[in-house]
Amino acid sequence: MSSVRTGSSPELARAAEVLRRKRVVVLTGAGISTESGIPDYRGPDGPRRRSPPIQYRDFVASEATRARYWARSAIGWPHFSHARPNAGHATVARLERAGAVTGIITQNVDRLHQAAGSHQVIELHGALAEVVCMQCGLIEDRDDLQERLLAMNPGWHPEQYAIAPDGDADLPDVVLFGENVPKARVEQAFAVVDAADALLVAGSSLAVFSGYRFVDRATRLGIPIVVANVGPTRADSQASVRLQEKLGSVLPALADLILEGER
């Protein structure tokens, strides 16, 4: 494995060589959205920024935990919902339009890939844009829910508080920590990896098996892997090339090299 921190042309060229003229699947994590103003859990400052995320088993078992979760949800949503795609998201969409990217598997719940124009997106952990009732299955728009939350708590101003990485929206349509990703969704993502010629990991430490399983799958299939992430990842030893720059800089440069070589 080779690594780079400052964008050396040889390393970018090597990464482009690995990905060029291949069906590339992109696996993204929180690191691709930090430049949109959404903090991550495991970046350089992530673990020190916040309390631990609420676990699924606690959410289901405790009414007090659900109330606390809804409060944190109301705090995070205004900022989270106004986040916009950055250059990293735009580059993934550009590569998809060019036919270089055949699928996107994201661990994020922000829908910034779709906002940037991507279509072939599998949301491993769901999305915060809708909330599903755990009893009747009714789907409600998250903005509508926010209005109800604030109406029930007059005089409270959630904008005064800090945002959490996932917006902490009450999630029934999002996979919580400790909850399993639906099997059908995992199988769909595996099928996308199986049909690919290369895997690009962008902005994930892969500390959680939910995302790492696809790197493991690619390794067992002999599919080359490029990892672009600031900080160490679980897949560093499995990567053909390792890039450690901010994705808003390195992904556009990488895309230029990939697409230039295909002309």
Looking at the annotation, which residues are catalytic?
A: 125
Query: CA-CA distances (angstroms) from residue 153 to 122, 171, 195, 206?
Result: 35, 20, 50, 38
Question: With the CA atoms of 7, 13, 19 and 22 taken in that order, what torsion angle do they form, in degrees rounded to the nearest 10?
Answer: 150
* DSSP bridge partners of 202: 28, 228
Question: Where does 20-62 have alpha helices with state H?
Answer: 46-49, 56-61
Locate tokens 């735009």: which residue? 90
Count CB atoms within 10 A of the CB of residue 180. Answer: 11
Contacts with 67 (C-beta within 8 Å, 6 or more apart), sequence order: none
For the chain, the maximum distance between any two Cα atoms, rounded to a whole number of angstroms, is: 59
